[in-house]
């Protein structure tokens, strides 16, 4: 098992014939992902021009793509100015999980998108994320798939490269993952930590969870509180940005210390007080997962 995506997921790409979507559609297929087609408005009725993808149909709208292919997952490779619209189109067409890689979607667009989603069941992962991967089954994103090995750890992070870092540390210790979810570095995420923790708690194969946050916003602490009240599985937390100065945007639009509660130290203190395993040192994330697994008698 896994969360959100698995070997049954039928994936389409929005912005399908673009350079990045083409590259990552091929990579996803090589890993076993069921890519069933894609959307490029204006190119409907054709096949993808790349020889490796030439068997896949191109549609004008997501609704047509869903009707023809039964797709339930979309990788949205659409430039930031048009990305929120593409996401809403996916939701309207009944896509269950829409993943958006784009870095640079205006915040007001995300506010509208989140309002549009009220009362609808679709999940939006991102923006500003490497995406989601269930090793050997389904990859919707841009991460280096070879570092992700199958196992029983669920991982969720705001940062992409820090997700890779933690994954590699775990792999070196023999710890693999069920699913990795990047919720993204923007101030407004389609999916928050709590939603992902809830899915991991419900997934029978996930036995232990790693949550990697960063400075800025109330999400990490809210998630830790939710975990304390609702989770039976151990959770390991890390928050990047101990050395970050106040008031500066550290690369990610969402990574900015606006108040004392936003600092990495305050968040990790709160996580610890709420009973999470906390890795204070980014180089110790793997070791901390190992310790938690051993203390809980979890085999891997």
Partner 1 sequence: MNIHEYQAKELLKTYGVPVPDGAVAYSDAQAASVAEEIGGSRWVVKAQIHAGGRGKAGGVKVAHSIEEVRQYADAMLGSHLVTHQTGPGGSLVQRLWVEQASHIKKEYYLGFVIDRGNQRITLIASSEGGMEIEEVAKETPEKIVKEVVDPAIGLLDFQCRKVATAIGLKGKLMPQAVRLMKAIYRCMRDKDALQAEINPLAIVGESDESLMVLDAKFNFDDNALYRQRTITEMRDLAEEDPKEVEASGHGLNYIALDGNIGCIVNGAGLAMASLDAITLHGGRPANFLDVGGGASPEKVTNACRIVLEDPNVRCILVNIFAGINRCDWIAKGLIQACDSLQIKVPLIVRLAGTNVDEGRKILAESGLSFITAENLDDAAAKAVAIVKG
Residue 277 annotated in ligand binding: no
How do 73-76 and 97-100 pair as beta strands? parallel
How do 177-182 and 131-134 pair as beta strands? antiparallel
User: Is 146 known to be catalytic?
Assistant: no
Residue 148 annotated in ligand binding: no
CB of 139 to partner 1, least distance (A): 12
Which is nearer to partner 1, 158 or 233 (by Cβ)? 158
Residue 251 annotated in ligand binding: no
Catalytic-labelled residue, pool 8, 24, 55, 252: 252
Tokens representing 154 are 């669920």
Alpha-helical segments (H) within the chain: 19-30, 62-69, 80-92, 107-116, 160-172, 193-202, 219-230, 264-273, 285-295
CB of 46 to partner 1, least distance (A): 27
CB of 8 to partner 1, least distance (A): 26
Which is nearer to partner 1, 6 or 114 (by Cβ)? 114
CB of 224 to partner 1, least distance (A): 14
What is d(CA 231, CA 225) in angstroms, rounded to the nearest whole number? Answer: 10
Which is nearer to partner 1, 130 or 151 (by Cβ)? 130
User: Where does this chain bind partner 1 (CB under 8 A)?
Assistant: 80-81, 104-112, 114-116, 130, 142-144, 147, 157-165, 168-169, 185, 187-188, 212, 214-219, 222, 240-245, 247-248, 250-255, 259, 264, 280-284
Which is nearer to partner 1, 5 or 110 (by Cβ)? 110
Length of the chain: 300
Q: What DSSP line would sit under 75-124, residue for residue?
A: EE---HHHHHHHHHHHHHTT-SEEEE--S---HHHHHHHHHHTTT---EE
Residue 8 annotated in ligand binding: no
In contact, 97 and 4? CB cutoff 8 Å:
yes
* DSSP secondary structure code for residue 129 in this structure: S
Residue 247 annotated in ligand binding: no
Helix, strand or coil for residue 157? strand
Q: Annotated binding site for substrate, which residues?
A: 164
Q: Annotated binding site for CoA, which residues?
A: 17-20, 43
Q: Annotated binding site, which residues?
A: 17-20, 43, 164
Which residues participate in catalysis according to the annotation? 252
């Amino acid at each position: 098992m896994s969360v959100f995506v698995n070997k049954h997921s039928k994936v389409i790409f929005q912005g399908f014939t673009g350079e990045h979507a083409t590259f990552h559609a091929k990579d996803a297929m090589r890993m076993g992902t069921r890519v069933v087609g894609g959307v490029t408005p204006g190119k409907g009725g054709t096949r993808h021009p790349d020889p490796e993808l030439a068997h896949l149909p191109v549609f004008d709208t997501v609704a047509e793509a869903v009707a023809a292919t039964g797709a339930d997952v979309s990788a949205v490779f659409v430039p930031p100015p048009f990305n929120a619209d593409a996401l809403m189109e996916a939701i309207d067409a009944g896509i269950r999980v829409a993943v958006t890689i784009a870095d640079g979607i205006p915040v007001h667009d995300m506010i509208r998108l989140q309002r549009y989603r009220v009362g609808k069941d679709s999940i939006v992962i991102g923006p500003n994320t490497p995406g989601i991967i269930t090793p050997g089954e389904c990859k919707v994103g841009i991460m280096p798939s070879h570092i992700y090995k199958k196992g029983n750890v669920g991982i969720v992070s705001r940062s992409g490269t820090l997700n890779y870092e933690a994954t590699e540390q775990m792999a070196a210790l023999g710890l693999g993952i069920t699913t990795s979810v990047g919720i993204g570095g923007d101030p407004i995420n389609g999916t928050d930590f709590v939603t992902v923790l809830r899915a991991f708690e419900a997934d029978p194969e996930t036995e232990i969870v790693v949550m990697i946050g960063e400075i800025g916003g109330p999400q990490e602490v809210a998630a830790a509180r939710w975990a304390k009240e609702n989770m039976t599985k151990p959770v390991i937390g890390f928050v990047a940005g101990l050395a970050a100065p106040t008031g500066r945007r550290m690369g990610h639009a969402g990574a900015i210390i606006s108040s004392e509660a936003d600092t990495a130290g305050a968040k990790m203190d709160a996580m610890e007080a709420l009973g999470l395993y906390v890795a204070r040192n980014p180089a110790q994330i793997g070791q901390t997962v190992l310790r938690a697994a051993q203390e809980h008698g979890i085999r891997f």
